[in-house]
Amino acid sequence: MKVAGRITGEALLVAKELIKEGVTTKQIDDKIRMYIKKCGAKPTFLGYGGFPGSACISINEEVIHGIPSHSRVLKNGDIVKIDVGAQWKGFTGDSAATFAVGEISEEAKKLIKTTEECFFKGIEAIEKAETPRIGDLGFAIASHAHANGFSVVEQYTGHGVGSELHEDPSIPNYGTSGRGVRIYPGMTLAIEPMINEGTKSVKVLKDGWTVVTADGKLSAHYEHSVAVTNNGIILLTKVD
């Protein structure tokens, strides 16, 4: 899991370096695929459920599952979500982040910052709880998002991750403290706040993959695969 996570995190950094005005999402996806294969791993997303890319690349109001394309060209002011996974020796990592293209609005900056903070608020809640549960994590994430004037996507969640990309338990980004599945040492989880500027409602486009905000406002995404241990949380996909 550590190796799969490291390769995943490095692939995300490769993508980060490419993000600038005029670059297509397909160019970014190609570089991600090449890097993962160079490391002796497989792009987890490629062909997963029929997905055509090695990464999900979603722009502005697109929440998740954006399909890389030669026709999607990054523009100044865009925010870009890149979600990537690498499989190594039967185990997989899963990580995502939101990046700015050139100069973005103050509201977009706040959204990206808050989304990342939501992730770490969730981690803090797990580490502080005497008997941590999924509800502690979700409550911390949603509370921080709402306190900053944003909403939380409820239709899509984080998940267990290990030999498969999506495993139990489901990890909603909202919940009630002290409720839900117990979190034990030995678990490996993909925790991924998806935070919207406006409504929490989302819809799927006709391509059958791309999820967008129902009101067309911005969305941000931040994710790491983590391991729960007796000595706290290890961020398996954090390499920078």
For the segment 153-201, what is each residue's pLDDT rounded down to a tens digit?
Answer: 999 999 999 999 999 999 999 999 999 999 999 999 999 999 999 999 9
CA 188 – CA 236 distance, rounded (Å): 9
DSSP state of 86: E
Nearest to 42 by CA among 54, 30, 58: 54
pLDDT, residue 240, reads: 74
Residue 230 to residues 99, 145, 226: CA-CA distances in angstroms? 33, 28, 13
- The torsion angles phi and psi of 99, rounded to 5 degrees, stand at -125, 150
For residues 203 and 229, what is the distance between their CA atoms, to the nearest angstrom? 36
pLDDT of residue 87: 98
Superfamily of domain 2-235: Creatinase/methionine aminopeptidase superfamily (3.90.230.10)
pLDDT tens-digit series, residues 32-63? 999 999 999 999 999 999 999 999 999 999 99
Look over the chain and give the mean of its residue pLDDT values, rounded to a whole number: 97
Kindly list the strands in the beta sheet with 211-213, ordered across the sheet, starting from the edge strand earlier in the chain: 62-64, 211-213, 202-204
Domain ranges across the chain: 2-235
Give the pLDDT confidence score for residue 121 in this predicted structure: 98
**How many CB atoms neighbour CB 50 within 10 A?**
7
pLDDT at 118: 98
Share of the chain above pLDDT 70, in %: 100
Place of tokens 């935070």: 195
Kindly tell me if the per-residue pLDDT of 20 is higher than 80. yes
